[in-house]
Chains A and B, each alone.
Chain A
Amino acid sequence: MDEPTVAPGSTHEDLIAHGNALLRYALARVGEHALAEDLVQDTLVTAVGKLSEFAGASSMRTWLVGILRHKILDHFRWKQRHPGDQPMGDDADADEPDPWFTRLGRWRSDPNQGLEALDADPAAAFERSELRAALQFCIDHLPKKLHHVFVLRDIDELAPDEAAAAAGISHDSLAVFLYRARQSLRACLQKKWIAT
């Protein structure tokens, strides 16, 4: 997607042009449309006040996402302090059977097969970007609830307390959802790499 860059004299419309992307970013993290819209509004209003401070060192999108990220973190902190004000999300059922294991808890198939690509040197830029793209594909296809907690915890690196509060779930459920998300991603990458 073309990313408009900030030029001196940027207008409100230049900022609003990023509104939909910001909304998607917020929605992936807070999971509630009306709240995501409010956060976008807060972000753009803050951006208006700071436009003169924006040096153009990064793209406007990156700059706006940086502001939005702070707004989202503030919201999560508020939510953590006021747990009673928010409906809790669906907690995980820890007894749900695990598709990757037999009844006795042994692996159904080798979970490492096909994952050799992960050994790529972190400094090898091309391999690394290929790996990221593959993982991104799998993250995008996670079920919504797993996607939500995985983004909060493993991508945005919120503390476990913050991530649990943000998703409106207990600590135990957070652990269960994250375990499922991580194993689903492992299985997805295996499928992708073994098939190609």
Chain B
Amino acid sequence: MSRATKARSGVLGGLASGMMTVAESLLGMSCRSFIRLVSARYERPLGPGERLRQRIHRAMCRICRQQELRMAQLHDLARDIGQVSTDSADEAQHPAVELSPEAVARIRRAMDEASNRPPRT
């Protein structure tokens, strides 16, 4: 590639990327805004404007299209964890946490009272 061609393609490349940025700002959606909405969609319905801007960005951006799919897969996997495991999950987060001896004594007393056993001394 000659120096002139290289310079031209550099200019064109810069122009194209500049135009993308202009298009994104005109259409009001960057990858960051797109993916924030992908996450927000799990908590609330999106408005018509948000949906339209998302649709335009989705059509233009392969990376975000794929990332939206990955987010959905991760979401399903997390629900899977909720249904399968009940206890091991919390041990790493709170490994050293234990009931205090006072709490255990209090719980024993409450359990005895609930089953009408004479309280322990």
Q: Do A and B come from one complex?
A: yes
Q: Which residues of A contact B (CB under 8 A)?
A: 1, 12, 15-16, 19-21, 23-25, 27-28, 33, 37, 40-41, 44-45, 48-49, 61-62, 65, 98, 100-101, 104-107, 110-112, 115, 118-119, 122, 128, 131-132, 135-136, 139-141, 144, 147, 150-151, 153-157, 160, 171, 174-175, 178-179, 182-183, 185-186, 189
Q: Are B39 and A140 in contact (CB under 8 A)?
A: no
Q: Are B86 and A61 in contact (CB under 8 A)?
A: yes
Q: Are A27 and B90 in contact (CB under 8 A)?
A: yes
Q: What's the Cα separation between A48 and B116 when bound, in Å?
A: 11
Q: Are B111 and A185 in contact (CB under 8 A)?
A: no
Question: Given contacts A12-B108, A20-B97, A122-B76, are A104 and B81 in contact (CB under 8 A)?
Answer: no
Question: Given contacts A24-B90, A28-B89, are A157 and B79 in contact (CB under 8 A)?
Answer: yes
Tell me which of A24, A105, A151 contacts B30 (CB under 8 A). A105
Question: Given contacts A40-B99, A40-B107, A122-B76, are A101 and B89 in contact (CB under 8 A)?
Answer: no
Cβ of B121 within 8 Å of any chain A Cβ, yes or no, is: no
Cβ of B110 within 8 Å of any chain A Cβ, yes or no, is: yes
Number of chain B residues close to chain A: CB under 8 A: 53
Q: Please encode chain B, from 89 to 110, with 1 for each CB lying within 8 Å of some chain A CB and 0 for all others.
A: 1111110011110011011101
For this complex, 30 residue pairs linking A to B, each with C-beta atoms less than 8 Å apart, are: A1-B88, A20-B97, A24-B91, A27-B94, A28-B94, A37-B99, A40-B107, A44-B110, A49-B114, A61-B87, A65-B87, A104-B21, A105-B33, A106-B31, A106-B32, A118-B77, A128-B80, A131-B77, A136-B88, A139-B81, A147-B93, A153-B42, A155-B81, A157-B82, A175-B43, A179-B36, A179-B39, A182-B39, A183-B39, A189-B74
Q: What's the Cα separation between A183 and B70 when bound, in Å?
A: 11
Question: Given contacts A107-B63, A118-B77, A178-B43, are A25 and B99 in contact (CB under 8 A)?
Answer: no
Q: Are A183 and B103 in contact (CB under 8 A)?
A: no
Tell me which of A44, A112, A135, A141 contacts B66 (CB under 8 A). A112
Q: Are A44 and B111 in contact (CB under 8 A)?
A: yes
The interface residues of chain A lying within 8 Å CB-to-CB of B82 are 154-157
Q: Are A19 and B43 in contact (CB under 8 A)?
A: no
- Main SS class of interface, A: helix
Q: What's the Cα separation between A123 and B113 when bound, in Å?
A: 48
Tell me which of B74, B108, B114 contacts A186 (CB under 8 A). B74
The interface residues of chain A lying within 8 Å CB-to-CB of B108 are 12, 16
Tell me which of B74, B90, B93, B112 contacts A185 (CB under 8 A). B74
Shortest Cβ distance from residue A36 to the other chain B in the assembled complex, whole angstroms:
8
Q: Whose C-beta in chain B lies nearest to the C-beta of A142? A: B93
Q: What's the Cα separation between A102 and B42 when bound, in Å?
A: 25
